[in-house]
């Protein structure tokens, strides 16, 4: 090892020549050994193609590059969500990206899983997964630009190792719950039944007009959707994917229901262009959806739940002097879409037709749903086999 001269500032310096640029790179250390080790590391990085000029780059500088690229690739709402995820990774901002370890990221995620300072509650598994994905993508850009040698964030496929509070599983409504929707008039009932029997997404139902419904052909034309900027609906002429634009064939029950709803609006002088407008006839905002849906859940809870007041009496009205505990499932609009997918499966609709009806861009999504339902209803299918064999034996 070549002997180094001590500088005036008390440090030692060994220089390494960059073969690509011809420039000399200074490697400093408090001791000769430290300076030499840094020089060896620098030679190794140069040999592996690492950009040594970016070694002091921070996580935030590369996060900004990822966000700049995202702005052109995703919708405005998702772009804002990504900014929020990077903000939650603030402890990494000023860290040199090359020095961040896998455990550094994991520690932040574990801390947020226990307590989220933005919500004062534990963070859900789905949010943790999105935060981890954001960090992964930032490191991936740095890796592609030869700033780091490997991505410290690993995308785990082991769901058992997920941190954060487990999300409430999305599911289809039971036969009993479907009947609740059918038997309970409310401003949200029209939206609920339409989604349950057509599989429309909330963003597809919001701008749906009466002209989009062909009662004689029993079809709904899905040709536009709404993307929310905050709470404000922004109309788009395209869907979630190219497959989102579609013609949905709907059952007679939905046609009959919507015809009756339209006639009721005509008779009362309240017919609007939109099928499910707000009280002013305009598209529902995100907050408008939330308020309308929660009001419907309260009504369903009073009618079908088992809530009691502090004096032991049964709740008989949504208007009470004390907070009422929800005893029915937290039914969401997406459960309606999942119910439609389940109804398609149970009625024997093939997976390709189901994909078109649901507007999935990838048939794998539909197959995943059908595979899950296969596992759920396999005992029922085996019972059919038993019945068939019994008939055959009796012949």
The stretch 332-361 carries a mean pLDDT of: 94
Question: Confidence class of residue 162 from pLDDT cuts 50, 70 and 90?
Answer: low
Q: Give the pLDDT confidence score for residue 1 in this predicted structure.
A: 60
* Residue 51 pLDDT class (50, 70, 90 cuts): low
Residue 78 lies in a domain: yes
Instruction: Give the lowest-confidence range in 5-9, 102-106, 273-277, 349-353.
Output: 5-9
Task: Work out the average pLDDT over 101-126.
Answer: 90
Same domain as 321, residue 191: yes
CA atoms within 13 A on the CB side of 344: 27
- Decide if 181 contacts 193 (C-beta within 8 A): yes
Q: Are residues 30 and 148 in the same domain?
A: no
Mean pLDDT confidence for 141-155 = 86
**Of 67-71, 186-190, 379-383, where does mean pLDDT reach its minimum?**
379-383
CATH classification at residue 264: 1.10.443.10
In a shared domain, residues 155 and 219: no
- 103 is a domain residue: yes
The pLDDT tens digits for 12-27 are 998 888 877 788 888 8
Q: Indicate the number of domains in the chain.
A: 3
Given 118, 137, 161, the domain boundary residue is 161
Residue 41 clears pLDDT 50, i.e. is over it? yes
Q: Give the Cα separation of 229 and 227 in Å (integer).
A: 7
Query: Same domain for 370 and 304?
Result: yes
Specify the pLDDT at position 3: 80
pLDDT at 318 over 90: no
- Assess if residue 385 is contained within a domain: no
Residues 199-234: b if buried by 16+ CB within 10 A, e if exposed: bbbbbbbbbbeeebbeeeeebbbbbbbbbbeeeebe
Whether residue 73 sits in one domain with residue 19: no
In this structure, the answer to whether residues 205 and 108 fall within a common structural domain is: no
**Residue 130 above 50 pLDDT?**
yes
Do 203 and 153 fall into the same domain? no
Where in the sequence is the domain holding 145, given as residue range(s)?
A: 59-161
Tokens standing for residue 120: 């004062």
Residue 107 belongs to some domain of the structure: yes
- Say if residue 320's pLDDT is above 80: no
Residue showing tokens 């339209």? 262
- Would the pLDDT of 50 be above 70? no
Across 322-351, average pLDDT: 91
Task: Assess if residue 391 is contained within a domain.
Answer: no
237 within domain boundaries: yes
pLDDT tens digits, one per residue of 370-382:
888 887 777 666 6
| 383 within domain boundaries | no
Residues 127-137, mean pLDDT to the nearest whole number: 93
88-102, 202-216, 305-319, 364-378: segment of lowest average pLDDT: 305-319
**Co-location of 93 and 28 in the same domain:** no
State residue 159's pLDDT score: 47
Q: State pLDDT tens for residues 215-253.
A: 999 999 999 999 888 788 988 876 556 678 999 999 999
Residue 112: CATH number of its domain = 1.10.150.130
Q: Report if residue 224 sits inside a domain.
A: yes
Q: Are residues 217 and 313 in the same domain?
A: yes
Q: Are residues 130 and 228 in the same domain?
A: no
Residues 317 and 267 in one domain: yes
302 and 320 both lie in a single domain: yes
CA geometry: angle at 195 spanning 192 and 200, to 5°? 150
């Amino acid at each position: 090892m070549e002997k180094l001269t001590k500088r005036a500032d008390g440090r030692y310096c060994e220089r390494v020549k960059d073969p690509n640029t011809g420039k000399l790179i200074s490697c400093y250390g408090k001791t000769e050994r430290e300076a030499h080790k840094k020089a060896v590391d620098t030679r190794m990085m140069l040999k592996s193609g690492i950009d040594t000029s970016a070694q002091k780059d921070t996580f935030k500088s590369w996060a900004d590059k990822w966000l700049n690229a995202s702005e052109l690739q995703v919708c405005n709402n998702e772009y804002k969500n990504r900014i929020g995820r990077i903000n939650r990774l603030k402890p990494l901002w000023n860290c040199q990206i090359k020095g961040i370890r896998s455990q550094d990221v994991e520690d932040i995620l574990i801390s947020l899983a226990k307590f989220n300072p933005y919500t004062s509650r534990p963070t859900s598994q789905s949010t943790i997964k999105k935060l981890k994905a954001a960090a992964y993508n930032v490191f991936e850009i740095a890796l592609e630009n030869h700033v780091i040698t490997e991505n410290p964030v690993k995308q785990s496929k082991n769901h058992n190792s997920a941190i954060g509070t487990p999300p409430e599983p999305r599911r289809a409504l039971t036969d009993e719950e479907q009947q609740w929707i059918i038997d309970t008039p409310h401003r949200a009932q029209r939206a609920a039944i339409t989604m349950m029997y057509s599989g429309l997404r909330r963003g597809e139902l919001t701008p749906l007009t009466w002209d989009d419904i062909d009662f004689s052909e029993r079809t709904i034309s899905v040709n536009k959707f709404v993307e929310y900027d905050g709470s404000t609906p922004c109309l788009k002429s395209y869907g979630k994917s190219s497959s989102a634009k579609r013609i949905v064939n709907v059952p007679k029950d939905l046609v009959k229901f919507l015809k009756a709803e339209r006639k009721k609006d005509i008779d009362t002088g309240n017919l609007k262009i939109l099928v499910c407008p707000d009280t002013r006839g305009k598209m529902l905002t995100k907050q408008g959806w939330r308020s309308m849906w929660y009001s419907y859940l309260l009504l369903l809870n009073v009618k079908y739940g088992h809530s009691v007041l502090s004096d032991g009496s049964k709740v008989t009205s949504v208007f009470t002097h004390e907070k009422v505990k929800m005893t029915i499932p937290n039914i969401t609009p997406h459960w309606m879409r999942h119910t439609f997918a389940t109804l398609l499966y149970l009625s024997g609709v093939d997976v390709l037709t189901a994909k078109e009806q649901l507007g999935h861009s990838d048939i794998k999504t539909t197959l995943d749903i059908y595979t899950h339902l296969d596992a759920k209803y396999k005992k029922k299918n085996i019972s059919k086999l038993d019945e068939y064999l019994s008939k055959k034996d009796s012949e």
